[in-house]
Amino acid sequence: MGTTNSLPLSFEDYNIRQKKFLKELPEKTLVLIPTNPVSYRSNDTTYPYRASSYMLYLCGWDAPEAIFMAYQESGSWVTSIFVRPRDTKAEIWEGRRVGVEGASSQCPIDEAYSLNDMETVITEKINACSNIYSILGLNDSLDNITQNSNVEILDPRLILDDMRVIKSEGEIKLMQNAASIASKAHIEGMRKSFSGIGEWELQSIIESYFTSKKSGPSYGSIVGGGDNATILHYHSNDVQVNDGELVLVDAGCEVSGYASDITRTWPVNGKFTEAQREIYELVLKAEIAGIEACQAGSPWSSMHHATSKILAKGLVDLGILNCSFEEALGENFDGKYRNFFMHGTGHMLGLDVHDVGGGRQGDKGPERILQPGMVLTVEPGLYFGSWRTDITIPERYSGIGIRIEDDVLITADGPVVLTSSCPKEISEIESLIGKGLSETNA
Ligand code: GLY
Ligand code: MN
Ligand code: MN
């Protein structure tokens, strides 16, 4: 939108958010929320630009350097944005800008300013305020101005994060779209799998499907074959996946800033071995129980408790843990099962893949209660890395890593799985593998 595209949500959606946020702030407050800086990849080349999620949330402005501002005048809030002005020379190299005039009409704010006027306008507003709500560390010029004033700087994220946790109907539509695209991408990956496929080839199949839908990855895709599936944040994706090995694919995409996040695990030759099947069925059972625990009114930890109990019992039943169920689970869900399931069961999902307001990023206050409109992931896994030296890995399961991850919307009528079009039953997966291969690579 800061270039040429239109906003993903209605002006009304943004205005409702702005009002709700500003209503929480004390008298004589100045809000200054900068977007993300441009990041350099090497020398003078940059990473593809991604605006800050707070900027996208408040007004949808997706171009670099912008600052969202709000101040009170005669008892009412005025919302503004500082944007890069039109500049033909810069636009020739970097792309079109809508400039101040475009921002005034296309951005859901009351008034727009050029960044060239930032220092003067902000200094004047600071002189009339008693406190500033700003996010530090993103914009040095802005931080210099605010930190050199004698006004207290407070963090707006405590308020905004709570708001971002509940998704509007418009946001849910975008997230459903992201979830459906990623589901189809995984199906494409299954259909084009074969023994010996490169992890990078699978990555390319999945990410090119994202691109074909005008989307892109919402995080670095994880494509881990065999033992690589046991590395939780594996990213090199540069090894061939052999006959008899599983591949774990954790790849989601972004639609208008909103993320999906799916993991599926499948045998590249199209047939689970008995040992792989035992672990897969156990993880799937845990995942289904985790989803079922996603009920409005339940504490955040319900899904982790549900998955953990099933995994701990299954590990004892399979003889992988030679102890009682109680010892496997542990009093505080910290028993021996954690040797093989080391991460949390899920996290909030939204403008950030590990979204604000719960789970992984952790609440400081009391435990969050699940409410309609929240979207989260459920993603139990079991990992038996043959390379582990801290514990004994049973030979039968050595080199197996399995995670199953879905995106779940909490509703008053129970959990809705946004990624339900992505198969996860063994029979469904086996019937897909290799079905999309041409004769040359079959
Ligand atoms: N894709 C990272 C995660 O599942 O949390
Ligand atoms: Mn996840
Ligand atoms: Mn994931």
- Choose the final residue of a domain: 163, 194, 223: 163
60 belongs to a structural domain: yes
State the pLDDT at residue 438.
Answer: 75
Residues 68, 28 share a domain:
yes
| Parent domain of 414 | 169-441
Angstrom distance (rounded) from CA 315 to CA 329: 10
From 405, 406, 408, give the residue whose CB has the most ligand 1 atoms within 8 Å, as the site to mutate.
405
400 belongs to a structural domain: yes
Angstrom distance (rounded) from CA 378 to CA 62: 29
pLDDT over threshold 90, residue 3: no
- Choose the final residue of a domain: 113, 135, 163: 163
Higher pLDDT, 359 or 227: 227
**Ligand 1 pocket check for 171: Cβ under 6 Å:** no
State the pLDDT at residue 357.
Answer: 83
Q: Could you tell me the distance, in angstroms and rounded to a whole number, from the CA of residue 402 to the centre of ligand 2?
A: 14
Q: Which ligand is in closest contact with the Cα of 378?
A: 2
Q: How confident is the model at residue 406 (pLDDT cuts 50, 70, 90)?
A: very high
Residue ranges of alpha helices (H) inside 76-168 are 88-94, 99-106, 118-127, 140-147, 157-164
State the pLDDT at residue 6.
Answer: 85
**Ligand 1 pocket check for 250: Cβ under 6 Å:** yes
Q: How confident is the model at residue 4 (pLDDT cuts 50, 70, 90)?
A: low
Question: How much is the pTM?
Answer: 0.96
State the pLDDT at residue 1.
Answer: 66
State the pLDDT at residue 222.
Answer: 98
Task: Name the CA radius of gyration of the chain, rounded.
Answer: 24
Query: Which region among 345-354, 362-371, 410-419 has the lowest average model confidence (pLDDT)?
Result: 362-371
**CATH number for the domain harbouring residue 346:** 3.90.230.10
**Ligand 1 pocket check for 254: Cβ under 6 Å:** no
Residues 223, 118 share a domain:
no
CA-nearest residue for atom 4, ligand 1, is 261
Q: Which residues surround ligand 3, an ion (CB under 5 A)?
A: 250, 261, 263, 405
Render pLDDT for 313-324 as a digit per residue (tens, 0 to 9).
999 999 999 999
How large is the average pLDDT for residues 365-392?
Answer: 94
How large is the average pLDDT for residues 62-91?
Answer: 97
Q: Could you tell me the distance, in angstroms and rounded to a whole number, from the CA of residue 250 to the centre of ligand 1?
A: 7
- Choose the final residue of a domain: 163, 190, 218: 163
From 221, 261, 287, give the residue whose CB has the most ligand 1 atoms within 8 Å, as the site to mutate.
261
pLDDT over threshold 80, residue 441: no
pLDDT over threshold 50, residue 410: yes
Residues 246, 114 share a domain:
no
pLDDT over threshold 80, residue 362: no
4 belongs to a structural domain: no
6 belongs to a structural domain: no
How large is the average pLDDT for residues 390-396?
Answer: 96
412 belongs to a structural domain: yes
Q: How confident is the model at residue 365 (pLDDT cuts 50, 70, 90)?
A: low
Residues 142, 187 share a domain:
no
**CATH number for the domain harbouring residue 87:** 3.40.350.10
State the pLDDT at residue 118.
Answer: 98
The count of domains in the chain is: 2
Share of the chain above pLDDT 90, in %: 95
pLDDT over threshold 90, residue 442: no
pLDDT over threshold 50, residue 386: yes
Active site members: 44, 233, 250, 261, 343, 347, 354, 379, 383, 403, 405
210 belongs to a structural domain: yes
Render pLDDT for 266-278 as a digit per residue (tens, 0 to 9).
999 999 999 999 9
Distances in whole angstroms, Cα of residue 206 to Cα of each of 15, 60, 191, 272:
36, 27, 11, 22
How large is the average pLDDT for residues 142-146?
Answer: 98
Residues 349, 252 share a domain:
yes
2 belongs to a structural domain: no
Residues 315, 203 share a domain:
yes
Residues 276, 255 share a domain:
yes
Render pLDDT for 229-240 as a digit per residue (tens, 0 to 9).
999 999 999 999
Q: Could you tell me the distance, in angstroms and rounded to a whole number, from the CA of residue 114 to the centre of ligand 2?
A: 39
Q: Could you tell me the distance, in angstroms and rounded to a whole number, from the CA of residue 233 to the centre of ligand 3?
A: 9
Residues 414, 300 share a domain:
yes
Residues 289, 149 share a domain:
no
**Ligand 1 pocket check for 219: Cβ under 6 Å:** yes
State the pLDDT at residue 361.
Answer: 38
Mean pLDDT of the chain: 96
Question: Which residues have CB under 8 Å from 271's CB, separation 6+?
Answer: 430
Angstrom distance (rounded) from CA 41 to CA 365: 37
Residues 434, 380 share a domain:
yes
Q: Could you tell me the distance, in angstroms and rounded to a whole number, from the CA of residue 375 to the centre of ligand 2?
A: 11
State the pLDDT at residue 163.
Answer: 96
Residue ranges of alpha helices (H) inside 148-273 are 157-164, 169-191, 199-212
Angstrom distance (rounded) from CA 14 to CA 8: 10
3 belongs to a structural domain: no
Residues 182, 106 share a domain:
no
pLDDT over threshold 70, residue 211: yes
Render pLDDT for 168-195 as a digit per residue (tens, 0 to 9).
999 999 999 999 999 999 999 999 999 9
Residues 195, 94 share a domain:
no
Go through the chain and tell me how many residues it has. Answer: 442
